[in-house]
Structure 1
Amino acid sequence: MSTTIEAPRSPYARAPRKRGVNWEKWGWIYMRVSGVVLVVLIFGHLFVNLWLGEGVSALNFAFVAGKLTNPFWMTWDVLMLWLALIHGGNGMRTLVNDYATKPLIRGILKWAIFASVAVLIILGTLVVFTFDPCPAGQPADLLPSFCSAL
């Protein structure tokens, strides 16, 4: 006796692709790999910022400025930013594919997700790499105390 299982319901039907890159497979793999790497990056970030040294009371402008002058922490923060934003954007894309039934709305939502992720990645990367806690030509009373020696 054989039982036939019906095809799963889908909000829209697409013809299966015969050749080319399987973007859904690579998106699925990216979510798993980036999730594991993000766990390490986030817990490392929390460990250094909250548990080492003086704890949360030490978090101030000088602490952040000191971290953002170190190339290791700049790379760490940018990697965390990029992975988190792309991971979240890919998750939102999956939700849109699952629940948006009209092709036009689905396309608009996916482009909006892509645009917002791209803008946030560009702005976040610019902030990390162009951050200057002691800008030249500013009045000394407006600068942090650690800039007075410069």
Structure 2
Amino acid sequence: MSAAPQIRAPRTTSATGRIAPEYRRSTGSRGQFEMLAWLFMRLSGIVLVVLIFGHLFVNLLVGEGVHAIDFGFVAGKWADPFWQFWDLAMLWLAMLHGTNGVRTIINDYAERDATRFWLKVVLYAASALIVILGTLVIFTFDPCPVIDGVRHAADYCPAV
């Protein structure tokens, strides 16, 4: 009987399992950062589950459910600082969690340093833009705007 052939691990030079020199990346001080990023993913995932299920419960199950969600519903919800903070925390954590996950995928699959660099630049720019715009929307949302000197009041706006 002959022994079954050994299948080498990807990106290795021999059956010893050592990474080929062309695939080695310098680790430097990234070890601590990667460990903290790993820990952040676990903790933010737990917090996100609570935030998202709370969000879904309030928006879909309380009151009239999905049929009550409209501009007035959001306006009334964001009139309360608690819900502003809730939605802000959900936005920030979801974006940071997702960005960290995509960063890990880029590190795993982009083999060239230049490709990895530019993919991360695009990722970080897009994430920063979404976080900034989302934060501005949450804190500058005015359901009762004044347009050309006329206050456009709805039933949820205070009397003028």
Question: Partners of 1:45 and 1:146 in 2: how far apart?
Answer: 21
Q: Provide the residue aligned with 1:112 in structure 2.
A: 122
Letter aligned with residue 17 of structure 2: E
When residues 147 and 14 of structure 1 are mapped into structure 2, their CA distance, relative to the original with a 3 A threshold, is same
Q: Residue 11 of structure 1 contacts residue 100 of structure 1 at CA under 8 Å; is this kept in 2?
A: no
Q: Provide the residue aligned with 1:48 in structure 2.
A: 58
Alpha-carbon distance, 1:23 to partner: 1.0
Alpha-carbon distance, 1:139 to partner: 3.9
Question: Partners of 1:132 and 1:95 in 2: how far apart?
Answer: 39
The counterpart of 2:132, out of the listed 122, 125, 129, is 122
The counterpart of 2:101, out of the listed 91, 95, 98, is 91
Q: Provide the residue aligned with 1:13 in structure 2.
A: 24
The counterpart of 1:59, out of the listed 62, 69, 77, is 69
Alpha-carbon distance, 1:135 to partner: 1.5
Q: Which consecutive residues of structure 2, in runs of 5 or more, have no partner in the other structure? A: 1-14
Q: Provide the residue aligned with 2:90 in structure 1.
A: 80
Question: Partners of 1:59 and 1:115 in 2: how far apart?
Answer: 31
User: Aligned-residue CA RMSD in angstroms?
Assistant: 2.3
Q: Larger Cα Rg: Structure 1 or Structure 2? A: 2
Q: Provide the residue aligned with 1:36 in structure 2.
A: 46
Q: Residue 76 of structure 2 contacts residue 156 of structure 2 at CA under 8 Å; is this kept in 1?
A: no
Question: Partners of 1:12 and 1:54 in 2: how far apart?
Answer: 57
Letter aligned with residue 24 of structure 2: A
Q: Which runs of 4+ in 1 moved over 6 A?
A: none
TM-score after normalising by structure 1: 0.86
Question: Partners of 1:86 and 1:118 in 2: how far apart?
Answer: 9
The counterpart of 1:132, out of the listed 115, 134, 142, is 142
Q: Residue 27 of structure 1 contacts residue 90 of structure 1 at CA under 8 Å; is this kept in 2?
A: yes
* Residue aligned with 1:15, SS: coil
Q: Which has the higher contact order (CA 8 A, sep 6+)?
A: 1
